[in-house]
Amino acid sequence: MTIEPDTKFGDWTVLQYLGADVYLCRCKCGTEKPLLGGNLKRGHTTKCRKCSQAAKPDAVRRHPLYPIWNGMITRCENPQAHDYANYGGRGICVCDRWHTFANFVADVSPRPPDMQLERADNDGPYSPSNVHWATGRENSNNRRNNRLVTIDGVTKTVSQWAETTGLPAPAIFARIYDGYTGQDIIKPLRHYRPRQHLC
């Protein structure tokens, strides 16, 4: 069921339905923004970012984990975020508990040096049971666009094969493109001969 115009959710007022469960809303300060109906109904958003920031104590905004928490919420729940399509747009959500910043801090603190927050299941939510700290390389290996390659029954990402063999990752990708399989993918460079393509 669609939400009727003029319905209020906190400081938001629904102006019109845009389709795909997205509604154009206006905050009491005058800011207009498209929002997901599900987030409005569940109370995940009650005011615009400017009003939310004004309501947060400076100590919260200065907390070292605040940018991570704020980025997580934004890419999952703001359709205008540049990376929304890879998160909220494909069903990745933030658990109810973590919509409260203090709960997020309690569950993930302390942050180890040079670590990033990673989801164990890349199709699962941001929640205590699916999140851990990982190095940048580990996080990169978990990305959807990092191709998996199986050689002699062992499956690794291209980045991991490059690290294991000492070969440049672009060389491995080139061999896969040329149609090589198995051990031919990771032979030393001196044994590699590009195959001719007809197109």
Of residues 83 and 55, the one with the higher pLDDT is 83
| 23 contacts 5 by C-beta, under 8 angstroms | no
Same domain assignment for residues 31 and 73: no
CB atoms within 10 A of CB 28: 13
Please tell me whether residues 99 and 173 are part of one structural domain: no
Do 7 and 34 fall into the same domain? yes
CA atoms within 13 A on the CB side of 114: 4
pLDDT tens-digit readout, 7-31 = 999 899 999 999 888 999 999 888 8
- Whether this prediction's pTM lies above 0.75 is answered by no
**pLDDT above 70 for 73:** yes
Is the Cβ–Cβ distance between 158 and 169 less than 8 Å? Answer: yes
**Opening angle at CA 14, ends 31 and 45, nearest 5:** 70
- Does 102 lie in the same domain as 67? yes
Span 129-145, pLDDT tens digits: 988 887 655 555 555 44
Residue span of the structural domain in which 152 resides: 148-191
HSE of 13, CA atoms in CB hemisphere, 13 A: 8
Domain presence at residue 198: no
What distance in Å separates the CA atoms of residue 32 and residue 27, rounded to the nearest whole number? 6
- Residue at 6 is within a domain: yes
With bands split at pLDDT 50, 70 and 90, how would you rate the model's confidence at 115?
confident
100 shares a domain with 60: yes
Does residue 61 sit in the same domain as residue 140?
Answer: yes
Provide the pLDDT for residue 94: 92
Pair 140, 171 in one domain:
no
Name the nearest CA neighbour of 184 among 192, 174, 194, 173. Answer: 192
Residue 177 maps to a domain: yes
How many structural domains is the chain composed of?
A: 3
Q: What pLDDT score was predicted for residue 8?
A: 93
> Are both 129 and 157 inside the same structural domain?
no
Q: For residue 10, what are the contacts with CB-CB under 8 A and spacing of at least 6?
A: 43, 45, 46, 47
In the structure, what pLDDT confidence band is assigned to residue 162 with cuts at 50, 70 and 90?
confident
Residue 105 and residue 128 in one domain: yes
Is residue 197 included in any domain, yes or no? Answer: no
